């Protein structure tokens, strides 16, 4: 039996919100018994976009858009929180809130650690993404949001089938689950989640100007090296690091070599201005 899942390649997501609009277009004003009642026009985001902004330097802000939908968890807290079996997992892995049995079960909205269950005041019902189960049951190969994404950011398929697009992407990118600390065993995976980052800005002290094209090397304690060059503003950035200690070296012709230990923290570690001297 299939285990439907999604792999989200964040490196491709441009934050256009087409996926959210497609979800609205599919579900607002449309009931799909037995898997869903109509989604309200406002207040519900079965597909939401979380924007993570990180200030790398005064001239450089990095934004990661994270499409957030029901993670179709294998150990779903919403199932445990439901009365009368109102939330259940289908044999293909899709978690469904039964739109009849779940009437009045407001506690379900608070049960999801990912915050993707929305309370519908008008129909007295908790609601969420269904992975467009009604379409899959009708022979569609992918949900509306996946079909609509212009950037090819979303891959959908049977994660148990190694030949499916989603399973291949999962293998290629080594995508990971979001918030593993929730221990819910999601079936949505993300490639390119924000990781620790190290940045700084280099100046030529004698000229008091930004140092372009300086060779910057970051070496971890096992000897693995990464290199980059400063841009026109003297900025350098190393992304997708681990929170640990590295050795940073700076080299530019005509200037003294600099080397120092740096402790990279969980989010962004910015070293500020670094002056190269003759
Ligand atoms: S993400 Fe939330 S709503 Fe979806 S299955 Fe997991 S616990 Fe339930
Ligand atoms: S899978 Fe369907 S219900 Fe879920 S976010 Fe995408 S369009 Fe909306
Ligand atoms: S449609 Fe695709 S690119 Fe646009 S926000 Fe959604 S996932 Fe990102």
Q: Residue 59: its pLDDT value, please?
A: 75
Dihedral sign for Cα 105, 109, 112, 117, please.
positive
Query: What mean pLDDT, rounded, does the chain reach?
Result: 96
Q: Residue 267: its pLDDT value, please?
A: 87
Tell me phi and psi for residue 11, to 5 degrees.
-65, -20
Q: Residue 121: its pLDDT value, please?
A: 96
Residue 14, ligand 3, Cβ within 6 A: yes
Q: How far is the CA of 143 from the centre of ligand 3 (A)?
A: 13
Q: Residue 61: its pLDDT value, please?
A: 87
User: How does pLDDT run across 86-114, given as a tens digit for each residue?
Assistant: 999 999 999 999 999 999 999 999 999 99
Task: Provide the CA 171 distance to its chain's centre, in angstroms.
Answer: 17
Contacts by 122-128, CB closer than 8 A, 24 or more apart: 122/40, 123/37, 123/38, 123/99, 125/37, 125/97, 125/99, 126/97, 126/102, 127/36, 127/37, 127/39, 127/44, 127/46, 127/97, 127/99, 128/46, 128/70, 128/97
User: How does pLDDT run across 210-250, given as a tens digit for each residue?
Assistant: 999 999 999 999 999 999 999 999 999 999 999 999 999 99
Tell me phi and psi for residue 64, to 5 degrees.
-115, 125
**CA nearest to 278, candidates 258, 260, 254:** 254
Q: Residue 55: its pLDDT value, please?
A: 84
Report the pLDDT averaged over residues 189-209.
95
Work out whether strand 4-9 and strand 188-191 pair parallel, antiparallel, or are unpaired. Answer: parallel
Question: Domains of the chain, with CATH numbers?
Answer: 4-191 (3.30.70.20), 197-276 (2.60.40.10)
Q: Is the pTM of this model over 0.75?
A: yes
Cα–Cα distance for residue pair 183/44, rounded to 1 Å: 25
Cα–Cα distance for residue pair 265/197, rounded to 1 Å: 8
Q: Note the ligand closest to the C-alpha atom of 73.
A: 1
- CB-based contacts of 138, cutoff 8 Å, min separation 6: none
**Residues with a CB atom less than 6 Å from ligand 1:** 70-73, 76-78, 95, 112, 114, 116-117, 128, 184
User: How does pLDDT run across 122-144, given as a tens digit for each residue?
Assistant: 999 999 999 999 999 999 999 99
User: How does pLDDT run across 17-45, given as a tens digit for each residue?
Assistant: 999 999 999 999 999 999 999 999 999 99
């Amino acid at each position: 039996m299939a285990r439907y899942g999604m792999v989200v390649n964040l490196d491709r997501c441009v934050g256009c919100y087409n996926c959210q609009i497609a979800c609205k277009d599919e579900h607002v004003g449309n009931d799909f018994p037995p898997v869903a009642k109509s989604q309200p026009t406002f207040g519900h985001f079965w597909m939401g976009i979380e924007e993570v902004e990180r200030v790398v330097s005064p001239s450089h802000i990095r934004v990661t858009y994270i499409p957030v939908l029901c993670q179709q968890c294998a150990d779903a807290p919403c199932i445990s929180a439901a009365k009368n079996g109102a939330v259940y997992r289908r044999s293909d892995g899709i978690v469904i809130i039964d739109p009849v049995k779940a009437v009045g079960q407001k506690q379900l909205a608070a049960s999801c650690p990912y915050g993707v269950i929305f309370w519908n005041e008008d129909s007295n019902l908790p609601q969420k993404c269904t992975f467009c189960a009604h379409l899959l049951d009708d022979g569609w190969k992918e949900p509306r949001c996946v079909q609509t994404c212009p950037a090819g950011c979303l891959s959908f398929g049977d994660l148990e089938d190694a030949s499916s697009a989603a399973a291949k992407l999962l293998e290629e990118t080594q995508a990971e689950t979001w918030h593993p600390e929730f221990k819910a065993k999601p079936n949505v995976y993300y490639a390119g989640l924000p990781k620790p980052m190290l940045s700084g800005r280099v100046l030529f002290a004698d000229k008091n100007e930004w140092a372009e094209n300086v060779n910057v090397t970051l070496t971890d304690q096992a000897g693995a090296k990464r290199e980059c060059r400063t841009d026109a503003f003297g900025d350098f950035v190393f992304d997708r690091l681990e929170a640990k200690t590295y050795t940073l070296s700076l080299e530019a012709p005509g200037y003294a070599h600099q080397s120092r230990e740096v402790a990279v923290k969980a989010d962004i570690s910015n070293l500020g201005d670094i002056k190269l001297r003759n």
